[in-house]
Amino acid sequence: MGKSSVLSAVLLLCTVLMHTDAEQEYFTLSTNLTWEEARSHCQMCFSDLVTLTPFNIRNISQRISSAHWIGLRKYFNSTGNGTTGNGTTNSSVPWTQWADGAPLVFQNWYPGWPVFKSPLPKIECCSCSCTCPARVSPTSAPTRGYTESPDSNNTDASTTDAILRHGPSESPAGYRITDPTDATTPDAPDTTQSHWVSTPPTPIASTCERSPMLPPIVPEELQNYVEDSCVAMLSFGPWVERDCSDPLPFICYEDRFYGEVNVSGITATSASVAWQRGPDGISHYRLHVVGGNETWVQNLTELSRDLDRLTPGTGYSVEVFAVKCGRDLNPQTTIFYTTPEEVQDLNVVKVTERSVTLNWTEPEGQFDFFLVKSPSDDVEVTTEEAEVKNLMPGGCFTFSVLTGVQDRSRWSEASPIAACTKPEKVSDLKVSDNTNMSLVLSWTPPEGNFTGFQVVALSVNKTLLFNETRGRGETSAVVTGLPNGSEIRLFVTALGRDGLRGDTVSDVDFTAPGPISHLVVVTKDTSLNADWKPAEGGPLTFTTELLWEKTVVKTKDVVNETSVMFDTLNTTTEYTVVWLLLLETLLPKMSKWTPSPYTGAPPPNVTKATYLVEVRSGFWNESFQSETQKTTFTFDRLRSGTNYTCEVMTQAGDDKSPPVNLTEMTVADKVEIGLSMMCSSADSLQCENETKVMKEIHDYLESNLKEHIFWKFN
Ligand SMILES: *[C@@H]1O[C@H](CO)[C@@H](O)[C@H](O)[C@H]1NC(C)=O
Ligand SMILES: *[C@@H]1O[C@H](CO)[C@@H](O)[C@H](O)[C@H]1NC(C)=O
Ligand SMILES: *[C@@H]1O[C@H](CO)[C@@H](O)[C@H](O)[C@H]1NC(C)=O
Ligand SMILES: *[C@@H]1O[C@H](CO)[C@@H](O)[C@H](O)[C@H]1NC(C)=O
Ligand SMILES: *[C@@H]1O[C@H](CO)[C@@H](O)[C@H](O)[C@H]1NC(C)=O
Ligand SMILES: *[C@@H]1O[C@H](CO)[C@@H](O)[C@H](O)[C@H]1NC(C)=O
Ligand SMILES: *[C@@H]1O[C@H](CO)[C@@H](O)[C@H](O)[C@H]1NC(C)=O
Ligand SMILES: *[C@@H]1O[C@H](CO)[C@@H](O)[C@H](O)[C@H]1NC(C)=O
Ligand SMILES: *[C@@H]1O[C@H](CO)[C@@H](O)[C@H](O)[C@H]1NC(C)=O
Ligand SMILES: *[C@@H]1O[C@H](CO)[C@@H](O)[C@H](O)[C@H]1NC(C)=O
Ligand SMILES: *[C@@H]1O[C@H](CO)[C@@H](O)[C@H](O)[C@H]1NC(C)=O
Ligand SMILES: *[C@@H]1O[C@H](CO)[C@@H](O)[C@H](O)[C@H]1NC(C)=O
């Protein structure tokens, strides 16, 4: 689209010189034509013969090397009706306008031009009167009056006079001015000067004589006079009049043509282009379409064209040259892109908490880049993959991928794809409330969105212990069903949509050991012995503390044993035994743990103390039994005055503690019984010994009732 490339095809021109002055271009045509022919040619193939102005004359004159016709002549009426329009107006006054109708506001005559028709010497006066006073060459006055010299310092008035009057006499060819550059010696000013001043001026005097004179010779300067002259510019700039029928090269001008190409109906493979009509005389339009690696050239006479079989997403450059006389005018140009095709095979490749990576295959045809539109940022890439960042974690978004062309004028259809980001991981995972089979996990929910949480607990050997989900609003979970005294691996994962899971946060913690069981405490006067069964998986090493009224009285370490004994105690005092686990090594988070405190004198069971109570009377051969969980028990319906044996045993699981015994007599409900006896004895007076009999009866009762029941014998 360089402007100089426009001027390539030339018909009839040997050299084309172009100068752009404002909106005009100038063409120097070297074919020798008459002024009329030259003008016709200019009108046909350009605008007209050149109109010179102070602004263009310098450039134009520099480009010619001999006299050239320009668009000026003395009278435009002489050209008949072939002249353009206004050129024929006001035709009675010479030198009024240029060929294109422009007013003659600027002239650059060579000194002495234009030549005006000299009035004939007033010889009639002399011939008819006898004595007239001599007049000094009045003939040159009008000529001088119209001579405009562009450089008055170089033009001596007398020299000009000489040229006007005598030069022609030295120039039999009839061409009064020789263009200095036409001469073999290019030394123009000197040549001109010496050429024209070679003959010394001869003063002309008109004399008046008495005798009638011959008709005067027509002054020689009138040989320069051309009645209907046309104007040529000399190679060095000034103008002279010439006979219009002289063949000369000439200079045309043309108003630069500007037009626009409009493109419409652009699709991926087609478009319509339309351009503006050129000036008159256009033979056809040449359409150049260049795009991708292809070029189409077509000669057309219409003003539009549908283009098809274009490549999608390609930039096409359109140039339309209006062709006039085989010459390209200034082209009408435009550039357009066809619509690119949409991408294929769009996929989500990778998803993170805050980004989504997509990939796709590039479309058929051409493209310059891809645009990924997202709710956060729009991303432009030239590769087939793009990462969209700054998304909300756990959110679901729709992305669209478009194919674009460089000037962003055309976009492909959008290819949509939906994807969700991963939820972020939870933070601040904490474990609390450890028991022997459960603990409480709590956490802070992550930023962004999520649908819930998955809580998993594993044992050290990776057995699944707990696997549950919690809803969006929950931030804690009670993990249950855990084994006693174990290391537990805990995992919390935020859940997102589409099965997406955040990163898992884990912690390690421990359940408390289970309670000891089968606790049997045997108390004696001053000692206390406790036996137990260790909890499954629980520890065997404790520190035991003996408390009296909540203060520690004694401590004892138990290592790999299941019993402990405290001695040198006070009798009948209530003590509490506490098993403490010193667990720094096993359970770092639990320094102290009380599995089962034991309190009291009657041996209880820790979990649920059950006491077996029994009262017996051997005398009456009866016994009553019962179970209780209290530490007192009342038997009723016992016989009065009977000595009962009480026995209390603690039952723990299947085991029973050794019994604690107590013997007590019920209160006697006394009744007197009278005895009468008849005494007969072989020995006389034997019956009178009463004391002996009484003793025998007492001994008898004594041996039978003993202390089983209350009795008294008098
Ligand atoms: C035009 O005429 C001149 C002499 O007047 C001559 O030198 C020149 O070669 C001619 N040009 C052409 C193209 O005929
Ligand atoms: C053009 O007009 C001028 C002035 O009226 C006249 O002298 C001249 O003869 C005319 N030329 C022609 C060819 O008619
Ligand atoms: C121009 O001259 C031609 C004949 O030479 C004539 O037919 C035509 O009508 C003229 N046009 C005008 C506008 O005078
Ligand atoms: C003659 O001049 C008038 C006014 O300057 C203009 O409107 C008209 O178009 C001209 N005619 C031609 C044929 O140039
Ligand atoms: C003409 O010559 C005079 C004196 O030599 C000079 O001052 C003046 O500038 C000249 N004028 C031009 C137009 O060259
Ligand atoms: C134009 O380019 C395409 C690929 O870009 C290629 O297949 C084709 O052969 C090329 N055509 C020409 C004429 O170089
Ligand atoms: C178009 O016309 C020019 C002549 O103006 C000719 O040289 C060229 O071959 C033509 N091109 C086509 C494609 O017809
Ligand atoms: C997208 O990426 C995946 C994984 O990197 C790859 O297997 C697949 O071929 C890619 N698809 C396209 C269309 O490039
Ligand atoms: C979060 O996700 C839920 C559904 O899982 C949806 O109803 C809610 O609008 C989402 N919130 C935001 C902020 O996207
Ligand atoms: C794993 O540990 C659990 C309890 O901690 C236990 O019940 C299970 O038997 C163990 N499994 C193996 C294979 O050791
Ligand atoms: C937890 O349960 C879910 C189904 O409810 C299952 O998909 C997941 O694999 C389980 N987790 C483990 C660690 O077994
Ligand atoms: C306790 O017993 C276990 C095995 O039964 C043994 O490995 C450990 O060393 C013992 N601890 C002490 C302090 O004796």
- For residue 451, report the distance from its CA to the centre of ligand 9, in Å: 8
How many percent of the chain have pLDDT more than 90?
30
Contact 170, 199 (CB under 8 A): yes
Cα–Cα nearest to 177, from 95, 133, 100, 237: 237
Range of 222-236, 368-382, 699-713 with top mean pLDDT? 368-382
Amino acid letter, residue 151: D
Pocket of ligand 8, beta carbon within 6 A: 345, 347, 349, 359-361, 384
Q: Which of 10, 28, 32 has most ligand 1 atoms within 8 Å of CB, for mutation?
A: 32
Pocket of ligand 2, beta carbon within 6 A: 75, 77-78, 91-92
**From the CB of 31, is ligand 1 less than 6 Å away?**
yes
- Sheet containing strand 369-373, strands side by side: 379-381, 369-373, 396-404, 415-420
Q: CA 308 → CA 275, 296, 338, 559, 632, distances in Å?
A: 17, 11, 11, 97, 111
In the beta sheet, which residues pair with residue 522? 529
Point out the ligand nearest to the CA of residue 462. 10
Domains and CATH numbers, the chain: 1-117+146-187+217-256 (3.10.100.10), 261-337 (2.60.40.10), 344-420 (2.60.40.10), 432-510 (2.60.40.10), 517-593 (2.60.40.10)
What would the pLDDT profile of 48-97 be if each residue is shown by its tens digit? 899 998 888 888 988 889 999 999 888 876 444 444 444 444 456 778 88
Report the pLDDT averaged over residues 380-408: 92
Q: Return the residue matching tokens 């419409």.
A: 264
Report the pLDDT averaged over residues 402-423: 92
Contact 268, 341 (CB under 8 A): yes
Pocket of ligand 9, beta carbon within 6 A: 395, 449, 451, 497
pLDDT at 4 over 80: no
What does the DSSP assignment read for 168-221?
GGG-TTS-----GGGSSS--HHHHHHHHHTSSPP--------SSPPPPPPPPGG
Average predicted confidence (pLDDT) for the chain: 76
What would the pLDDT profile of 30-50 be if each residue is shown by its tens digit? 889 999 899 999 988 888 899
**pLDDT score for 10:** 35
What would the pLDDT profile of 311-347 be if each residue is shown by its tens digit? 999 999 999 999 998 888 889 999 999 999 999 999 9
Torsion of CA 179, 185, 188, 193, to 10 degrees: -90
CA gap 383, 365 in Å, rounded: 15
CA gap 371, 410 in Å, rounded: 12
Report the pLDDT averaged over residues 213-231: 66
Cis peptide before 114 (omega within 30 of 0): yes
Torsion of CA 14, 19, 23, 29, to 10 degrees: -20
**pLDDT tier at 550, thresholds 50, 70, 90:** confident
**pLDDT tier at 146, thresholds 50, 70, 90:** very low
**pLDDT tier at 223, thresholds 50, 70, 90:** low
pLDDT at 245 over 80: yes
Nearest-atom number in ligand 9 for the CA of 451 is 5
- For residue 82, report the distance from its CA to the centre of ligand 3, in Å: 8
CA gap 539, 590 in Å, rounded: 13
Residue nearest to atom 3 of ligand 8 (CA): 349
What would the pLDDT profile of 267-300 be if each residue is shown by its tens digit? 999 999 999 998 888 899 999 999 888 899 999 9
Cα–Cα nearest to 28, from 46, 44, 40: 46
- For residue 293, report the distance from its CA to the centre of ligand 6, in Å: 6
CA gap 73, 34 in Å, rounded: 12
Nearest-atom number in ligand 7 for the CA of 326 is 5
pLDDT at 470 over 60: yes
CA gap 87, 323 in Å, rounded: 27
Cα–Cα nearest to 512, from 596, 638, 424, 410: 596
Cα–Cα nearest to 406, from 385, 380, 387, 373: 380
Report the pLDDT averaged over residues 662-675: 83
31-35, 351-355, 515-519, 537-541: lowest mean pLDDT where? 537-541
pLDDT at 471 over 50: yes
CA gap 104, 115 in Å, rounded: 17
**From the CB of 640, is ligand 11 less than 6 Å away?**
no
- For residue 449, report the distance from its CA to the centre of ligand 9, in Å: 6
- For residue 442, report the distance from its CA to the centre of ligand 9, in Å: 22
649 versus 455: which is more confidently predicted?
455
pLDDT at 136 over 60: no
Contact 524, 566 (CB under 8 A): no
Beta strands in 433-549 (DSSP E): 439-444, 452-459, 464-471, 476-479, 487-495, 501-510, 517-523, 528-533, 542-548
